Amino acid sequence: MPKLSILVGTMYGGALDAAEQVKPLFEQAGYTVAVIEQPSVADITDSNADLALFCVSTTGSGDYPGNFVPFVRNLHDQSPSLTSLRYGLIALGDSSYGDTFCGAGRALDALLADHGATRLGERLEIDAMETFMADDAAIPWVEEWIIAQQLEVA
């Protein structure tokens, strides 16, 4: 079975919740799914890790959540080629923070692109001002994403 890693960056658990809620959708589509709460670069550079979903919230002033900081630091330091990585990105934020809305997700997207990774589809940005439970937005988006990107393997 192909593998899908869901890499989570979260402060208060909303992004982790969303990851756990979408996990069965990928299982139904034929994947072995790992929800990774302490992501490492190896999770996206291993030979069988060519599809990933990032679920990342923003804290501070457009900053990465604490659990996600080592991943980003190591990505900068190791600077691996990610040309075989295809990924989706769910960014959680709050538009009341203005310019830094979904800042971590947006920065991550740019960082992955810099390393040659290919985003499948558009980034989902979930605004806490509009959506109380992130999974309410994440579940329909993932259902659509699986269809639109023809990810079903079962």
Span interacting with ligand FMN, options 42-50, 69-77, 86-94, 116-124, rule CB under 6 A: 86-94
Residue 75 to residues 9, 56, 104: CA-CA distances in angstroms? 15, 16, 14
Q: Shortest CA distance to 138 belongs to which of 3, 1, 10, 2?
A: 10
CA distance 145 to 150: 8
Dihedral pair phi/psi, residue 44, rounded to 5°:
-115, 0
Name the one residue in this structure whose structure tokens are 């990505």.
75
Span interacting with ligand FMN, options 9-17, 25-33, 69-77, 142-150, rule CB under 6 A: 9-17
Residue 58 in the binding site for ligand FMN (CB under 6 A): yes
Span interacting with ligand FMN, options 22-30, 43-51, 72-80, 96-104, rule CB under 6 A: 96-104
Rule CB under 6 A: choose which of 20, 100, 120, 139 binds ligand FMN: 100
Residue 148 in the binding site for ligand FMN (CB under 6 A): no
